[in-house]
């Protein structure tokens, strides 16, 4: 299931929230700065994706069923939109999904629980996930919209989860294939603009990915090469003759 794959991706960034509160300011990237940098590259920002997830029991409003929890989450984070809901059950696992597709926004709120051993919640373990994509169009100020949605999502996770993860990813494209020296110029430009440094990376014939750290961004992950909270990746699509670029903090939360 999609929820499981995203949880595995963000697990290193699961943040303890034992008192029901957390320093949200520590997790808010410089949206305006990041957007401006990404929008200055290639064809400009085409899509922004926010993913937040957490382990939870009963919501602050008292909901303990997946359907009630996803509807509450959708109404809290995106109160101006109505959500459609679907429910699934397979064996001991239950899942509910609230979906919003409106204007330049796509959002999914998923709650999944099952009979998994958990010292916190007894015999059941429950996760809630928010996956929100903002498609860059002509309606409104994207950085302001991003900041508003991000703040609401972090507030919800802080109030309703024991621990949570969070990531923002920007996507843009370049026509044709980018040469190696251009890859390097772009990644160095991004890190320089953010006052950061590259600490590690991987490369093959069609994919380049580098990670590093910027003090202007929030939560970081400790690695053998030092902390990272900024991830940049490029992939060339020969069918479309297009190079895709993703810029994520603290990691890229998108398929590439």
Q: Where are the domains of the chain?
A: 2-29+48-166, 172-249
Question: What pLDDT band is residue 73 in, cutting at 50, 70 and 90?
Answer: very high
Give 172-249's CATH code, choosing from 3.30.360, 2.60.120, 2.60.40, 2.40.128.
Answer: 3.30.360
14-18, 75-79, 147-151, 203-207: segment of lowest average pLDDT: 14-18
Report the distance separating Cα 20 and Cα 3, nearest Å: 23
Evaluate if residue 45 carries a pLDDT over 60.
yes
Give 2-29+48-166's CATH code, choosing from 1.10.287, 3.30.2030, 3.40.1110, 3.40.50.
Answer: 3.30.2030
Mean per-residue pLDDT of the chain: 80
Percentage of the chain with pLDDT > 90?
Answer: 36
Q: What is the DSSP string of 110-157?
A: EEEEE---BTTTBT-EEEEEEEEEEE--SSS-HHHHHHHHHHHHHHHH
Closest alpha carbon to 167 in 244, 254, 101: 254
Would you state the pLDDT for residue 20? Answer: 33
Q: How far apart are the first and last CA of the chain?
A: 18
94-103, 138-147, 171-180: segment of lowest average pLDDT: 138-147
Question: What pLDDT band is residue 139 in, cutting at 50, 70 and 90?
Answer: low
Sign of CA dihedral 5, 46, 172, 141: negative
The DSSP 8-state label assigned to residue 178 in this structure reads P
Average pLDDT of the segment spanning 169-174: 92
């Amino acid at each position: 299931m999609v929820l499981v794959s995203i949880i595995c991706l963000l697990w290193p960034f699961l943040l303890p929230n034992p008192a029901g509160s957390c320093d949200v300011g520590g997790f808010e990237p410089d949206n305006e700065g990041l957007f401006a940098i990404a929008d200055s590259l290639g064809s400009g920002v085409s899509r922004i994706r926010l993913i937040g997830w957490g382990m939870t029991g009963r919501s602050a409003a008292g909901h303990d069923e997946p359907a009630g929890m996803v509807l509450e989450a959708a109404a809290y984070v995106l109160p101006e939109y109505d959500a459609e809901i679907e429910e699934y059950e397979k064996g001991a696992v239950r899942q509910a999904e609230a979906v919003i597709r409106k204007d330049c926004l796509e959002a999914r709120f998923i709650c999944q629980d099952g009979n998994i051993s958990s010292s916190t919640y007894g015999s059941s373990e429950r996760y809630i996930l928010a996956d929100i994509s903002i498609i860059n169009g002509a309606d409104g100020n994207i950085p302001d919209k991003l900041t508003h949605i991000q703040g609401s999502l972090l507030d919800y996770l802080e109030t309703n989860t024991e621990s949570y993860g969070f990531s923002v990813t920007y996507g843009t494209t370049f026509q044709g294939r980018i040469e190696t020296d251009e890859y390097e110029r772009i990644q160095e430009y991004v890190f320089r603009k953010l006052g950061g440094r590259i600490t590690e990376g991987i490369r093959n014939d069609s994919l380049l990915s580098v990670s590093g750290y910027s003090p202007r961004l929030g939560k970081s992950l400790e690695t053998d090469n030092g902390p990272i909270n900024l991830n940049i990746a490029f992939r060339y699509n020969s069918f479309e003759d297009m190079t895709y670029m993703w810029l994520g903090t603290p990691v890229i939360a998108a398929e590439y």
